[in-house]
Structure 1
Amino acid sequence: MSDFRETSASLLVLSNVPDEKVAAEIAHRLVEQRLAACVNILPAVRSVYRWPSAVEEATEVMLLIKTVQSRYADVEHAIKAMHPYDVPEIIALPIAAGLPAYLEWIAKTTRDDDV
């Protein structure tokens, strides 16, 4: 069995989507399925990137997804299933520190059971 601290380590997952509709659908699904405690939707992010060999620019909507390490694979799977891009941005960053009560809330909210 994994160490609770390892599996409940908080993560911030970043993903950009093309519009508010897709953002809301992904956010609601992640929270409803207890894959994320909270998803912030930030509008009007301007992205400059190379795809496949040309420099492109697009206005996107950014998702800031708060979850735990043990739920990351499910979060990634859910985003990929709903995301319209061929290669969606899905980046997980460890949360090194935070208000203990908030981090505990993330861990409790993303548990499979209703404890």
Structure 2
Amino acid sequence: MTQAIVTLTTCPNRNVADAIAEALVERHHAACVNIIPGLTSVYRWDGAIQKDEEWLLVAKTTEPAYPGLEACVLDLHPDELPEIVALPATGGLSGYLRWVAQETESAQ
């Protein structure tokens, strides 16, 4: 079976989160994207500590579909350097993982 992965991406607001999530699913770069509000990120940027309210996207995809996912996020995200972190799904319900693979197959 194709290796499933989960990606994490933060967005500055709900509109950006919705647009990216919908594009990822519409273009088959992800089978499902969860939008989680109420996230606070603390990080260093340009030598200063930043603190921002953000929205978190949790996308379920596959390794072959990941390059398209990354390109889509880079195209639609307003940040100079958006967070895109990919984690391998080392297990999961086999039927769900098959569905993720099927949903992302046409993007590969």
TM-score of Structure 1 vs Structure 2, range by shorter chain: over 0.9
The match for 1:97 is 91
Segments of 5+ residues of structure 2 without an aligned counterpart are none
Calculate percent identity across the aligned residue pairs.
40
AA at the equivalent of 1:10: A
Runs of 4 or more above 2 Å deviation: none
The match for 2:71 is 77
The match for 1:20 is 14
CA–CA distance in 1 between the matches of 2:7 and 2:46? 24
RMSD: 1.0
CA shift for structure 1 position 102:
0.6
Query: Larger strand proportion, structure 1 or 2?
Result: 2
CA–CA distance in 2 between the matches of 1:33 and 1:83? 16
Specify the SS of the correspondent of 2:67. Answer: helix
AA at the equivalent of 2:45: W
- State the TM-score, normalized to the length of structure 2: 0.96
Q: Is residue 53 of structure 2 the alignment partner of residue 59 of structure 1?
A: yes
Which has the greater radius of gyration? 1
How many residue pairs were aligned?
A: 107
CA shift for structure 1 position 52:
1.5
CA–CA distance in 1 between the matches of 2:18 and 2:75? 14
- State the TM-score, normalized to the length of structure 1: 0.91
Specify the SS of the correspondent of 2:87. Answer: strand
